[in-house]
Structure 1
Amino acid sequence: MMLTRRHFMTTAGCSIAVAGSGANRGWAASEITLGQMQIQTLSDGHLSLPPDFIFGPMPKDLLPPVLKANGIASGPLTPECNVTLVRDGQNVVLFDAGSGPAFQDTAGLLVDALDAVGLVPDDVTHVVFTHCHPDHLWGVLDDFDDPLFANAEHMMGQTEWDYWFDPETVNTIQTERATMAVGARRRLEVLEDQMTLFGAGQEILPGVAAVASPGHTPGHMSFELRQGSNSVLVVGDAIGNHHVGFARPQWHSGSDQDQVQAADTRQMLLDRLASEQMQLIGFHLPGGGIGRAEQTDDGYRFIPDPV
């Protein structure tokens, strides 16, 4: 049986002043019990994105009703950043590493979130990456450019590694993403000796299988966490938001590197999630990112798990 709960932690160990605000911040966690696995999502903060970063390629006449139906107002988008933590009594596994301090000042809070659940970076045994965008990878280094999770084995899909480690990627990627390529390669160079590569379909850890979900990046991976007949799918950015990503999965998103492939991947994942009624965890989905996909007459909708 899987149970879900969400709670906010504002203990002395996790409340700090937000720069410039004088306010205290608590780190939120959502939690699932899956067999022997304790699965939590920890907040790395949130991003601030211009709407066209996602909506740019979408049909301008059809987009407003979808946004209105999902309560999306004008102005910057501020998606959550949910890092998945799995503890099984032996391993302490992070799925992605957050953005660290070098990307946006509204994110990079993972170390504080770990502290709020009684962990420090040295406790982490594995860091598993969905992909190499800044908000998922850049948090792997500390202030001295050393690996933050010094005791951890780092794990990434072979295709994703090959793409971002290739020195030519910076010359072939879209110009506006060139800084992503530079930042990714710099971090991967530091992690090279600690990195284990894998392919789609492999069981990379007990109860954890890699699921190919390309398009957002060339080698994006999702991960199925399974205990007996129950499973949860960590989708990373393969389903990148709770509004158009569900309601109109075939619409191309400006956030995806291969927009056609990413749309096909979204449709495939949503078909499976809805038909199997499998729980999912999305990096940028609201309320900690845990919920289900429900099919509608013309698409899907995200149903957050009850708290």
Structure 2
Amino acid sequence: MLTKREFLKLFTAAGLAIGLPSIVRAQTAATLSLGNAKLHVINDGFMQLPMGFVYGSAPQAERDALLIQNGLALDAVSPPCNVTVLETDEGLIVFDVGGGTNFLSSLGGFFDAFIEAGFDPERVTDVVFTHAHPDHLWGIIDDFDEVIFPEAKMHIARSEFDFWMDKNTISKMNPERQSFAVGAKNRLGELADRFSFFEFGDEILGGIEAVDTSGHTIGHTSFVVHGGDQPTMILGDALTHPIISFEKPNWPTGSDHDMDQGIATRLKLLDRLSHDQMRVIGYHLTNNGVGRVEQSGTAFRFVGS
């Protein structure tokens, strides 16, 4: 029986061979040079979150004025989901895997686009997770209950893994988010023997540094990928809104597990990124997530590049 991976590879190849006009070969959303390596950004889809949930604690008049000034909706946030793939001579390293098809109907495009762009799942040596929220983790297992990257080792912060696997975590979460805990525990548990665990500050793979950006989750990690003269930080959800996260980093967000820690992390991270002028890839940022952080008076701004 064909696996989904094998089916997609055969289907794409056959479509290209006979020139079917209905088949469009997907491309990566962005490709960046990193010394002798490349970083590819592939979109998994987008989310639709109520503004009241994400920034319900922010001063409404000020929040609405900021959103209107930037031509953004007042009632909802619709962030993209940007998966990063590091391509080296040794293989492919994937950072997060999207939400798959069992979380939101607007997600789940990453793996098909990965195949259609010409990447081979069996060349993926490692999958690195920033954290275990559904839009980052659930895509690791497909509709056929198969792991999408059969040869890959998995990497996640020890504190993140332990939090989601703790039997008491589900009961401590708000009812509307308990499915996050159930889904995380099921997937992490099924893949437990594939995981390698790291601590903040570790070099988890050659040239990949784990940076403590906890707050969004207990063990949320960003990663600096070193190479050439252009290191890049893969932010995960440390900075999630292209305007508010930068201009108002001290506003709490309902998507953070620990709102106070989330604020402290944003302030520290923005100061570092603006000072170092390090390139970033944000999972939920615009411009395919790619840009830099600049200081703007007493605040900051995200500048796409």
Determine if the TM-score, normalized by the shorter chain, exceeds 0.5: yes
Distance 2:206 2:124 in 1: 16
Give the alignment's TM-score, normalised by structure 1: 0.89
The answer to whether structure 1 residue 40 and structure 2 residue 40 are counterparts is: yes
Greater shift in the superposed pair: 109-118 or 206-215: 109-118
Distance 1:116 1:74 in 2: 36
Gaps of 5+ in 1: 1-11, 16-21
Distance 2:202 2:91 in 1: 18
Matches within 5 A, 1:167-182: 167-182=167-182
Name the structure 2 match of 1:76.
Answer: 76
How far 1:75 sits from its partner (Å)?
3.7
How far 1:171 sits from its partner (Å)?
0.7
Pairs aligned (count) = 288
Matches within 5 A, 1:150-299: 150-299=150-299
Residues 25 and 237 (structure 1), Cα distance of their counterparts in 2 relative to 1, 3 Å cut? farther
Gaps of 5+ in 2: 1-10, 16-21
How far 1:116 sits from its partner (Å)?
3.0
SS of corresponding position for 2:186: helix
SS of corresponding position for 1:288: helix
Distance 1:199 1:91 in 2: 24
Deviations 1:259-281 (A, max 9, x none): 11001101111111101111000
CA contact (8 A) 1:41 1:84 kept: yes
Distance 1:23 1:143 in 2: 22
Distance 1:116 1:275 in 2: 38
Name the structure 2 match of 1:88.
Answer: 88
SS of corresponding position for 1:271: helix
Deviations 1:216-237 (A, max 9, x none): 0010000001124431100100
Name the structure 1 match of 2:117.
Answer: 117
Distance 1:59 1:187 in 2: 38
Letter in 2 for 1:276: D
How far 1:24 sits from its partner (Å)?
7.2
- Percent identity, aligned pairs only, is 39
Distance 2:27 2:180 in 1: 27
Residues 27 and 45 (structure 1), Cα distance of their counterparts in 2 relative to 1, 3 Å cut? farther
Matches within 5 A, 1:50-69: 50-69=50-69
Distance 2:98 2:139 in 1: 5
Name the structure 1 match of 2:304.
Answer: 304
Distance 1:46 1:24 in 2: 20
Deviations 1:71-124 (A, max 9, x none): 212343221100000011103010001000001111111112212321132221
Distance 1:288 1:57 in 2: 28
SS of corresponding position for 1:211: strand
Deviations 1:245-298 (A, max 9, x none): 111011101111111100110111111110111100000001210000111113
How far 1:187 sits from its partner (Å)?
0.3
Distance 1:25 1:109 in 2: 13
SS of corresponding position for 2:76: coil
Residues 25 and 240 (structure 1), Cα distance of their counterparts in 2 relative to 1, 3 Å cut? farther
Give the alignment's TM-score, normalised by structure 2: 0.90
SS of corresponding position for 1:100: coil
SS of corresponding position for 2:60: coil
Structure with higher helix content: 2
Name the structure 2 match of 1:135.
Answer: 135
SS of corresponding position for 1:62: helix
Name the structure 2 match of 1:5.
Answer: none
Aligned alpha-carbon RMSD (Å)? 1.9
Which of these two proteins has the greater Rg computed from alpha carbons? 2
Distance 2:28 2:147 in 1: 25
Name the structure 2 match of 1:147.
Answer: 147
Letter in 2 for 1:266: R
Letter in 2 for 1:64: D
SS of corresponding position for 2:29: strand
